[in-house]
Amino acid sequence: MKKYSYSLLILSLILGLAACKKAIEVDPKQSIPSETALETIEDIQAGVFGIYATLRNVDLYGRDLIAVAEALADNTVHTNVSGLRNEWNNNLGAHMDPWEQGFYGVNRANLVLEAIEKVEAPGAWKDAMAGQAHFLRALFYFNMSTVYGYDPTAVIGANDRGAVPVYEKGIIAIEDLVLVGRAPINYMYDFIYKDLDSAYSKLSRNTVGAAPHRATVEAVNALYSRVALFRGDYPTVIARAGATLEKTAMSLQTNSSYINAWRAETHPESIFEVKFNVNENLGANNSLRATFTTRAFLQDPMPSTHGSLAVADELMELYAANDIRRQLIIKGLGNNVNRNEMTKFISRGGVKDLDNVPVIRVSELYLNRAEAYFRINEIGLAREDVNVIRQRAGLSATTKSGSELLEEILLQRRLEFAFEGHRWFDLKRLGRNIVKSGRTLAFTDPRILARIPFREVNASEGMIRQNKGY
């Protein structure tokens, strides 16, 4: 290993400590001077809040992990205004870029985990803090891995250069950092599993509270089911989804409550959700609301913004007339008066441009498990799970089998999670082409993977290999 040359990765890692000065905001806390950061219980508590705060950045769940993912895939049509045009056109280099903020969050988690080992505190409290840090570190690494690397279920060997580097130690000063190369994909997934196992062990002994805005055992199992699906580890998908549904199935929304669930500040189906307080509002230029709709609020008679991404006609046609989910789609205003807009993010908290972001909902667990059952030839169980989602939507139960059943499961994923950022990642893990508006982005195309920031590659003295095509 070599000492790491100057780059913004260093800054993002080091700032993970310095930002404890502003470590906010699931619960607002006092600021912490960096020279004494993470030495006391209060410091560590604020440090944990700081990890959550990173998720709210526009490069992550503030917008891009949702909106750019939708632009890249086939659910949207660009409305010929500024914003995300290059991403919708799948231009080379136009992609998600969670690198800096992802490592920022990783370093915050690493610093918290190291500080917990040193502080005098009750064991239960230490477990609760460490469990959250392990969960969040797993989430950061999973997101970065799926953006910059292939998924284990679909790899182009000639293009595979791994996931992202794995750092387990906190970085305070430049001299503390040694460079490692991009981790192999399976190594990365082993590491994420290890983090989730640690999170489960520690959180199962404690109740953190504040769900769904804080990590819980249910959130750990739910994320585990998603990670395992991307890995093709279907028994684990089934086990983890089932364990979560034992605790959360009652929060699955009914047909009659489905629309109102998307009008609530906190979605009642959320197992883990990124919460935005008023002082964390990203504003019209960066909000999901402004990206997907022309209205500031659902009942507005006049447009507030352009609404860059509308519902593609191809997606609209997939919703049956009696599908309750279709009611979330309405005609836009202004330039979008003849376009369809998705209203999942519509200033739900009563403040313009402010929406919490569901990361994992109960519905996903049924569909994760349905696909996993199908993959191990438990066809009846797969059909049973997908019918939970179909019938809740107001559709009749399917009797499909074989490849038609798999396509039905994938269709329900598309319809259920439209404009929540799932579609791109589902197509990618399945190794499928992206087909939209008369053009196709082949899965073999290097544009499927994001570009590693040039500054990182150039500063790494050959340790970090750029993705092919850049």
Q: What is the pLDDT of residues 182-213, one digit of tens each?
A: 999 999 999 999 999 999 999 998 777 789 99
Closest-CA residue to 417 (of 468, 466, 348, 344): 344
Q: Is the pLDDT score of 174 beyond 60?
A: yes
pLDDT digit string (tens) for 443-466? 999 999 999 999 999 988 899 999
Q: Tokens 């960066």 belong to which residue?
A: 286
- Give the chain's mean pLDDT: 92
For the cut 80, the answer to whether the pLDDT of residue 278 exceeds it is yes
Q: What is the mean pLDDT of residues 365-370?
A: 99
Mean pLDDT of 357-376: 99
Q: In the chain, what's the furthest Cα-to-Cα distance? A: 63
Unique residue bearing structure tokens 């195309």: 445
pLDDT reading at 280 higher than 90: no
pLDDT in tens, 308-336: 999 999 999 999 999 999 999 999 999 99
- Please state whether the peptide bond connecting residue 212 to the residue before it is cis, i.e. omega within 30 degrees of 0: yes
pTM of the model: 0.94
Query: How would you label 33-69 residue by residue, b for 16+ Cβ within 10 Å and e otherwise?
Result: eeeebbeebebbbbbbbbbbbbbbbbbbbbbbbbbbb
Query: pLDDT tens, 30-70?
Result: 333 444 478 999 999 999 999 999 999 999 999 999 999 99
pLDDT at residue 12 is higher than 60: no
Q: Which residues contact 334 (CB under 8 A, 6 or more apart)?
A: 294, 302, 303, 306
**Mean pLDDT to the nearest integer, 400-407:** 99
Class of 1-60+98-208+442-470 per CATH? mainly alpha
Q: Write the DSSP assignment of 49-97 as a string of letters.
A: HHHHHHHTSTTTTTTHHHHHHHHHSSSEEE-SSSSSHHHHTT-TT-S--
Q: How confident is the model at residue 22 (pLDDT cuts 50, 70, 90)?
A: very low
Q: Which of 96-105, 184-193, 242-251, 400-409 has the lowest mean pLDDT?
A: 242-251
Task: Please state, for a pLDDT cut of 90, what percent of the chain lies above it.
Answer: 83
Domain locations in the chain as residue ranges? 1-60+98-208+442-470
